């Protein structure tokens, strides 16, 4: 079976990027927008993030439903085997709207990858699967606005916690590489790691932005991707939007700057 277009940024490559990255991180002060895509989903914040010298891209934080965002692709966190977990979170939300075919396709591609590259197999206890950060694209099922769902393994099996800021950073780069290979220009991510893995919202946002910059600066500076969103499952209210702005300004921005010192 052909496992299709995939991408994995390995741990060694990841560390090389961290060691070699000396740029200063810049984000503009976020603008509260509350621009609605539907009755239940709204873009709460909008900012520009510098990705390479002289180039910035639009980064928005959306409150509401990941499956209702008007983008080419959405990212779906997965376990190493890419099996549908079904106990809550992003996978269940996507399955409810898109159907199960996308998860069946993702699992089949993961199994094909494992069969064809046994040296890359990740084995720990009951988990046998693809490497951390492995990403692959599938059809979007019943989602009308969204062309592609990109599944990515964000579950680290060799130490605790399974997901942290560096894992998010690695997964974001992998997802963007797959989106680029599919000819897509806009991608939306969930707030990876903030559910059962217990990451703070600031850590997840910071890891997402760092992953975006890693991709443009170290993998594809000429990328055609021009719009990236982070979707948080919450009511799109002015109070929530202002709370996110406070997190971006007071918690995320200092993390981004301190990581470059």
Residue 244 has what pLDDT?
A: 95
Rounded Cα–Cα distance for residues 176 and 7 (Å): 9
* Total domains, the chain: 1
Residue 3 has what pLDDT?
A: 36
CA dihedral 112, 152, 197, 254 (to 10 degrees): 150
User: Which residues of the chain fall below pLDDT 70?
Assistant: 1-26, 122-128, 259-261
pLDDT tens digit sequence for 115-149: 888 777 766 555 668 989 999 999 999 999 999 99
41 domain residue, yes or no: yes
123 domain residue, yes or no: yes
1 domain residue, yes or no: no
pLDDT tens digit sequence for 77-95: 999 989 998 877 899 999 9
CA angle centred on 175, ends 169 and 181, rounded to 5°: 140
170 domain residue, yes or no: yes
pTM: 0.88
Q: Kindly state the greatest CA–CA separation across the chain.
A: 50
Q: Which domain holds residue 168?
A: 6-258
Strands 135-139 and 148-153: antiparallel
* CATH number of the domain residue 42 falls in: 3.40.220.10
């Amino acid at each position: 079976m052909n496992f299709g277009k995939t991408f994995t940024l390995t741990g060694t490559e990841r560390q090389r990027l961290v060691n070699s990255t000396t740029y200063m991180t810049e984000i503009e002060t976020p603008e509260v927008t509350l621009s609605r895509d539907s009755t239940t989903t709204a873009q709460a914040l909008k900012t520009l993030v510098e990705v390479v010298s002289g180039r910035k891209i639009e980064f928005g934080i959306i409150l509401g439903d990941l499956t209702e965002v008007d983008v080419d692709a959405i990212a779906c966190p997965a376990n190493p085997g890419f099996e549908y977990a079904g106990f809550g979170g992003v996978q269940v939300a996507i399955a409810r709207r898109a159907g199960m075919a996308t998860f069946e396709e993702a699992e089949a591609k993961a199994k094909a990858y494992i069969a064809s590259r046994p040296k890359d197999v990740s084995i720990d206890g009951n988990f046998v699967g693809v490497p951390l950060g492995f990403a692959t694209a599938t059809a979007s099922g019943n989602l009308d606005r969204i062309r592609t769902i990109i599944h990515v393994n964000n579950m680290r099996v060799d130490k605790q916690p399974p997901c942290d800021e560096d894992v998010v950073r690695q997964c974001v780069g992998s997802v963007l590489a797959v989106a680029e290979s599919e000819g897509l220009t806009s991608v939306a991510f969930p707030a990876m790691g903030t559910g059962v893995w217990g990451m703070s919202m600031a850590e997840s946002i910071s890891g997402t932005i760092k992953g975006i910059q890693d991709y443009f600066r170290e993998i594809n500076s000429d990328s055609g991707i021009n719009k990236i969103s982070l979707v948080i499952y919450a009511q799109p209210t002015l109070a929530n939007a202002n709370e996110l702005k406070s997190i971006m300004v007071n918690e995320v921005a200092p993390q981004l700057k301190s990581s470059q010192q």
